[in-house]
Structure 1
Amino acid sequence: MTQSSLAHDTAQGSPVRLRAVSAAGQPEVTPALQELYRGFERELLVPLWTEIGDLMPAHPRSRAVPHVWRWERLRELAAQAGELVPVGRGGERRAIALANPSLGGRPFATPTLWAAVQYLMPGEDAPEHRHTQHAFRFVVEGEGVWTVVGGDPVAMRRGDFLPQAGWNWHAHHNATAAPMAWIDGLDIPFQYVTEAQFFEFGRDEIGDAERATPDRSRSERLWGHPGLRPVSATATGPGSPLLAYRWEHTDRALNDQLALEAEGFGAAVEPGHAAVRFSDPATGADVLPTLRAEMHRIARDAETAPVQETGSSVYQVFDGSGRVTVGDRSWTVTRGDLFAVPSWQPLSVRSEAGATDSDSGALDLFRFSDSPVFEALGLGRTQVEGTTR
């Protein structure tokens, strides 16, 4: 093969395709420009002047779209999977991931966030494994499953938030006669795109001591006292050493914020909107290096100001009902429903909750996001009603 024919074949097989166009800011279309572009293609080169609008837009343009998943339907499908799909080596978990409709069928709720419904049948165990992906469980209903992290059995109950930093051995067991569903959140898409992920199988079965069902885990007994850090202990790795944040504490904190606001003290995020962030008791930072978790309570008839943020979020309705608007899409949501908020899409929420559909009489929303990543890289930006910070 001659050198000229080799160059021609390389250009023909190149994934780079360039087209000269007559447009403002673009060079004049001439035969010489066409030949220059063919040379770029052969050498796998792409000039910035043909791509700047896509690579450097005026503001973030997410590949994801706003979308809502209905809890009633998710739970029905998870129950069907419980009857048909075993838990064990191979599949590892009966976890059913949310797939954003604009991400090509990938099991990603947003380009950086994974959210899935996990379902465990009565008496069933999910085998032990570990991975570099950071994870958490959030329980919107039910109880009876213990997650076992590093040999420490941790009860999972409605309203509980259970973080688990990457590379910790973990398994689950259902100690009751009823199935249980919850949501898992992980940074799988982020680690996938950065090619940083590792995974390792553990034991097929956990020991009798780990199959215990204590009311409080060892991590809670050591780290779960508000405002108190044990002098004898130090954090052993990234992520919170506290493995369970109980609903009773979250609920009380949200109630107190709204009560203080009613008394004339500035305790809420905005009128009728209380919020708390789950934090690492050893450092005060986010519970996980790549994931932020929060709980929001919006009083009946209150409406949040539209907010835009770099990075994406997934919300689950814990209690109550309301109207959610993300970008140009709007839905009525009720208990358990999940929705995705892509980067820089404005979000506003109106609470329509009351005594008939909410224990608190308000709309309670669990939120997780990729904010720690953006802030660590200096890319975090928030805009509320025209004010950027």
Structure 2
Amino acid sequence: MQSHDRFDTLGRLEDLPQDYRDNLTQQNLVPLWPSLRAVLPPEVPARKTQPTHWPYATLRPLLIQAGELTPIEKAERRVLVLANPGHGLEKMQASAAMYLGMQLLLPGELAPAHRHTPNAIRMVVEGEGAWTLVDGEKCPMSRGDLILTPTGLWHEHGHDGDQPVVWLDVLDLPLVYYTETSYHLEGPSQSVKQGEGVNAFGRGGVTPTTVFERSNKAYPMLRYPWAEARAALVSIADNEPDAECVQVTYVNPVTGGDVQNILGFYALMLRPGQSLRLPARSPAQVFHQIEGSADVQIEATSFTLAEADTCCAPGYTAVTLKNRSASEPAFIFVADEAPLHRKLGVYENRG
């Protein structure tokens, strides 16, 4: 008898007498065996995360309208949440551990300083002239830039340009909320400190020498310019023409580890016309199209990503990406739950 056959023989809650079930409820007790197949399913975990696509062409007008309907003073952060229907829209999460939101900042607006326990990153989608001030470091925002706002660091946003600026927020909020550790604090505007981490670490293969004492910041680099990441991808593709996958990982330049503790972030290049199969791994993934266009196949579900579109895929599922252009590369930003899975000891690559 196979293991899944044994699961099918387990007793049901309805098989127990009502008075026995009532006595259990009065004592705050629950019989495990009727629910065992739900919490420990055979072979593949139960997953609420569904393949979901958020087209920017339909999202953007609603975000701009939100700017017209709600002043920043009443919103603090003017965001439309990219919610996965598998989790229920009211849960406001894209996967088990990832929250996504499209945030709008209009010219002259200031999103006041606060800090919170969830880790956050900003992936800039469109516009120029905005900035994020993180722990006193002023980070200009340009399309494709990755900006960190790690747990506990003060941050605020401002806009000195003349056109709307939009960015994609990615937070580990669902996990932090689940552990009952999610909260925020408001604070005064920060003073701008001299220097920017990217100027110290933004060159491949070198890092500042530590013979003399330097900052011991947990996050020495807060802004990862798209121009640098894109150049690295193109260089890898040119240097390794036979490489199947051209991808870079955003890392802490001092430790070499993931830029944040819970979620992982990457940039991926598809050569002209390339089709790439990503293996079935345990973490859920988010894909955001920075440049170009790509077809996405997630089991029986398919999407076409135009520039600034976003989609997600559940874990334990292979994903195939295909560049729709036969002449130009496509570039995709990827977020996943791999660092969390490795820390929990549940990370799997099933090929």
Superposition TM-score, scaled by structure 1 size: 0.81
- Contact residue 141 and residue 157 of structure 1 kept, 8 A: yes
Residues in 2 aligned to 1:246 and 1:327: alpha-carbon distance in whole angstroms: 33
- Contact residue 63 and residue 102 of structure 1 kept, 8 A: yes
Residues in 2 aligned to 1:24 and 1:150: alpha-carbon distance in whole angstroms: 55
State how 1:1-389 maps to structure 2 within 5 Å.
25-26=9-10, 35-58=19-42, 59-88=44-73, 91-105=75-89, 106-203=91-188, 205=189, 217-230=195-208, 231=210, 232-237=213-218, 240-262=219-241, 268=243, 270=244, 273-355=245-327, 361-384=328-351
Give how far 1:29 is off. 10
Tell me, what secondary structure is at the counterpart of 1:143?
A: coil
Structure number, greater radius of gyration: 1
Deviations 1:51-85 (A, max 9, x none): 11101012122112110000112211111111221
Unaligned stretches of 5+ residues in structure 2: 1-6
2:202 partner amino acid: G
User: Matched residues, percent identical?
Assistant: 29
Give how far 1:164 is off. 2.1
1:70 partner amino acid: P
Residues in 1 aligned to 2:173 and 2:287: alpha-carbon distance in whole angstroms: 17
Residues in 1 aligned to 2:13 and 2:320: alpha-carbon distance in whole angstroms: 47
Residues in 1 aligned to 2:261 and 2:350: alpha-carbon distance in whole angstroms: 23
2:292 partner amino acid: G
Residues in 2 aligned to 1:155 and 1:374: alpha-carbon distance in whole angstroms: 32
Give how far 1:369 is off. 1.3
Residues in 1 aligned to 2:326 and 2:12: alpha-carbon distance in whole angstroms: 64
Tell me, what secondary structure is at the counterpart of 2:200?
A: helix
Residues in 2 aligned to 1:370 and 1:143: alpha-carbon distance in whole angstroms: 30
- CA RMSD between the two structures: 2.3
Residues in 1 aligned to 2:180 and 2:128: alpha-carbon distance in whole angstroms: 36
Residues in 2 aligned to 1:377 and 1:63: alpha-carbon distance in whole angstroms: 19
Give how far 1:347 is off. 1.2
Tell me, what secondary structure is at the counterpart of 1:255?
A: helix
Give how far 1:35 is off. 4.8
Residues in 1 aligned to 2:236 and 2:152: alpha-carbon distance in whole angstroms: 36
Deviations 1:328-367 (A, max 9, x none): 2111221111001122232111111255xxxxx1121101
Residues in 2 aligned to 1:29 and 1:121: alpha-carbon distance in whole angstroms: 55
Give how far 1:27 is off. 5.3
Unaligned stretches of 5+ residues in structure 1: 1-22, 356-360, 385-389
Q: How many residues align?
A: 340
Give how far 1:172 is off. 0.8
2:4 is aligned to none
- Contact residue 11 and residue 33 of structure 2 kept, 8 A: no
Give how far 1:117 is off. 0.8
Residues in 1 aligned to 2:14 and 2:270: alpha-carbon distance in whole angstroms: 61
Residues in 2 aligned to 1:160 and 1:101: alpha-carbon distance in whole angstroms: 28
1:303 partner amino acid: S
Deviations 1:140-188 (A, max 9, x none): 3322111011122111111211122111111111111111111111111
Residues in 2 aligned to 1:369 and 1:344: alpha-carbon distance in whole angstroms: 12
Tell me, what secondary structure is at the counterpart of 2:169?
A: strand
1:66 partner amino acid: P
Distance change in 2, residues 1:148/1:308 (3 Å): same
Residues in 1 aligned to 2:157 and 2:296: alpha-carbon distance in whole angstroms: 34
Give how far 1:139 is off. 1.5
Tell me, what secondary structure is at the counterpart of 2:224?
A: coil
Give how far 1:311 is off. 2.3
